[in-house]
Structure 1
């Protein structure tokens, strides 16, 4: 009998997690049971992925850059990567603004619901406002200053310092190219081997993916706010999800046009990473799996994937930027504000730049949204209006972020002649080997 594919196992784990979560909400002690005995396994699974994120980026980027053996190749690939990422982000923000102006979801919120939600989530709003204020007060070049670490070992202690890790890895890889090959051979061999070991760790961790997503989804269901609040925000959620689905359609079109690969081939190859992104709400935590799927199942050469994907996980946040555009206009509508066309054009630029600065971790988009609201003159207290459904929408937009990274890696690989045939791993064979 044919064994179940990994993505079906993950889907089964997600469905069972939702069902168990719903069942537990019917018991007085159900939420506590899930939090004490089920949720920790989900956290352990996420921690396993986060544990190898920084070693993976270091090894993969250093290997990828040093494999180029030519600085001109690096600049060509880097320019195309960042250019395509910016274009897709602008498209995402534009789609979000068009949809939110057509649907007008903010006008469906009653004054009573608005007041209730602001009271319930005012504490969380203050936290994000303070974080955004500290970033704003830092100065216009603070982001550039933060890019260069003063201590790489200290930077490597937190996944929030991904840009610093990427800077060091690219700098190290370029330096490795510039020294005589015989002198750098030992270092090159070490990072090549380290990269293989980390990828094998990804294989082993993914054996637990169905169980990890089961625990994560069960916990999310029992911790969700009341149905009444979700109902009041239904049109807002529908608007965001519609925009996100349109972006996935755009990615499939881009892949089909530029790489001549079918949408089905693309979705089949990246689906396990999409499902994991949905469960973890973190592009960084999903990065190891994204790299494995793109390299082994979509045919992208490791030289390209190890360069494009870590950068994408940090600066390519199409789903986040689309959500920021919709959320900003939605909050304005809820407060009865009319945003001028020029202001909404400014939101496109602000959301694009904000998405580049978003950390690849859950909830980071909320901090960046404060800056978008501030630009447009929208009351920041309105953040409280979207907290009730932010968690499930965060899961959905992370799927788009990861899908966009994969699509761009295929396009870049095709443009430099590095897109070949997939080399699939058999997850069940790995499982048997472990046993």
Structure 2
């Protein structure tokens, strides 16, 4: 009996580990293995791809069902509009602050100074920002089924909001449909939990591939850019977000930072705000006590329009490119960058690499060489890790502040948050209340 119990201990210890610790172990092992294997670590990439595909599988149904359930659970269109306005105002405001921090960091550390690069012809085509009216028109799906099939998150959100409001307005006749959507949403939450069990292994495969493909040698010429973006990300999360939680929400910021570990680890490795949404919703409800109604509405919205990390990255990279090519920017150029990046963030898809496309809009707007994209593209995957992490941390911060302002934050869960998975599991039902 004793011998059997002893042999079972290693597996049991791994099972008892919290998810973020498993993910951290996977990251560390992935970096080590990738560094040792070099380019041949490509063979491990399918492990990470499998995890990413499983996450992507969840996105559309999770956003659609969660939004409908969130809206119908409010049962008050005025309340929904109020929450939406609060969330959008916070998202846009924090995005403007993020790009200001990025510009400030790049101005202080001057990562592009001394490169003395000269603009030349480039194969990378500039992306033109669509007119505002066209952006608004594109939000309305001509075919909702087509939007669901193609994964157009912004159109899905608009359709889900419209359907949710309609269900809330027709009263008793909507009850069967609402119960169906609630059941489907619960099924998606359970499927999310099952998929997240693959996270440590997927993270291992992804990190091994990144470390093997890029290596330290590739990062050395641009290590200063990477360092400035990562430092700016830490400042934005630890100082700015925590400050808002403390001063506006009157809550313990340490609790908020602690709850970020799992979704931040997923965001860092998958580089997808939409892909991290399952983990974000789970953490907001179970560890921060955000109500089902608020989390189901605010978080999917944030995964689409809240791109603080992308904005911060654009600020650093735009100024880096200006410095690298010896171009002096006027005060009006800085203002233009802030406004462009803030508005462009609304249309940035929450998928890997989308920030690089949006950066081209910023460069074009202020007349910076589009060739700069070729420089950034080489390290974009590494920078994407930092900016995606900032994005989802901002989503969770806004969900907490909105829930607190609406009286829908379970303080017992927030204040009694512990590091044990058992307590989190016990509190899940209270979080959904």
2:71 matched to which residue of 1?
65
Instruction: Name the CA distance, whole Å, in 1 between partners of 2:75 and 2:284.
Output: 22
The answer to whether structure 1 residue 200 and structure 2 residue 190 are counterparts is yes
Contact 2:229-2:386 at 8 Å conserved across structures? no
Superposed, 1:91-170 pairs within 5 Å as: 91-109=97-115, 111=117, 126=124, 129=125, 132-133=127-128, 136=129, 138-159=130-151, 161-170=152-161
- CA offsets per residue over residues 186-235 of structure 1, 9 Å max, x none? 000001111111000111111111111001111111121661x4222122
Q: Give the CA deviation at 1:275.
A: 0.2
Corresponding residue to 1:19 among 32, 42, 48: 32
Instruction: Name the CA distance, whole Å, in 2 between partners of 1:170 and 1:101.
Output: 41
Q: Structure 2: give runs of 5+ residues left out of the alignment.
A: 1-8, 426-433
The answer to whether structure 1 residue 242 and structure 2 residue 242 are counterparts is no
Contact 2:67-2:296 at 8 Å conserved across structures? yes
Q: Give the CA deviation at 1:262.
A: 2.1
Instruction: Name the CA distance, whole Å, in 1 between partners of 2:48 and 2:287.
Output: 26
Q: Per the alignment, in what secondary structure is the counterpart of residue 69 of structure 2? A: helix
Contact 2:226-2:382 at 8 Å conserved across structures? no
The answer to whether structure 1 residue 45 and structure 2 residue 45 are counterparts is no
The answer to whether structure 1 residue 318 and structure 2 residue 308 are counterparts is yes
1:433 matched to which residue of 2?
none
The answer to whether structure 1 residue 303 and structure 2 residue 309 are counterparts is no
Q: Structure 1: give runs of 5+ residues left out of the alignment.
A: 26-30, 431-435
Q: Give the CA deviation at 1:429.
A: 11
2:169 matched to which residue of 1?
178
Instruction: Name the CA distance, whole Å, in 2 between partners of 1:205 and 1:354.
Output: 32
Contact 2:101-2:312 at 8 Å conserved across structures? yes
The answer to whether structure 1 residue 83 and structure 2 residue 89 are counterparts is yes
- CA offsets per residue over residues 159-189 of structure 1, 9 Å max, x none? 3x1000000000000001111x221010000
- CA offsets per residue over residues 331-371 of structure 1, 9 Å max, x none? 01100000001111111101101111100001101111111
2:60 matched to which residue of 1?
54
Runs of 4+, deviation exceeding 6 Å? 427-430
1:74 matched to which residue of 2?
80
Corresponding residue to 2:350 among 360, 370, 387: 360
TM value normalised by structure 2: 0.89
- Structure 1 428/255 Cα, relative in aligned 2: closer, same or farther at 3 Å? closer
Superposed, 1:403-422 pairs within 5 Å as: 403-420=393-410, 421-422=412-413
Moved more, 149-158 or 271-280: 149-158
Superposed, 1:282-297 pairs within 5 Å as: 282-297=272-287
Instruction: Name the CA distance, whole Å, in 1 between partners of 2:248 and 2:423.
Output: 33
Q: Per the alignment, in what secondary structure is the counterpart of residue 422 of structure 1? A: helix
2:263 matched to which residue of 1?
273
TM value normalised by structure 1: 0.89
Contact 1:203-1:427 at 8 Å conserved across structures? no
1:28 matched to which residue of 2?
none
Corresponding residue to 2:42 among 14, 35, 46: 35
Instruction: Let me know the Cα RMSD of the aligned residues.
Output: 2.1
- CA offsets per residue over residues 45-74 of structure 1, 9 Å max, x none? 111111011101111100100111111101
- CA offsets per residue over residues 135-168 of structure 1, 9 Å max, x none? x4x5442211110111111111233x10000000
Corresponding residue to 2:208 among 218, 229, 232: 218
Q: What is the aligned residue count?
A: 406
Contact 2:321-2:372 at 8 Å conserved across structures? yes
Instruction: Name the CA distance, whole Å, in 1 between partners of 2:115 and 2:303.
Output: 34
Q: Give the CA deviation at 1:281.
A: 0.3
Q: Per the alignment, in what secondary structure is the counterpart of residue 379 of structure 1? A: coil
- Structure 1 405/105 Cα, relative in aligned 2: closer, same or farther at 3 Å? same
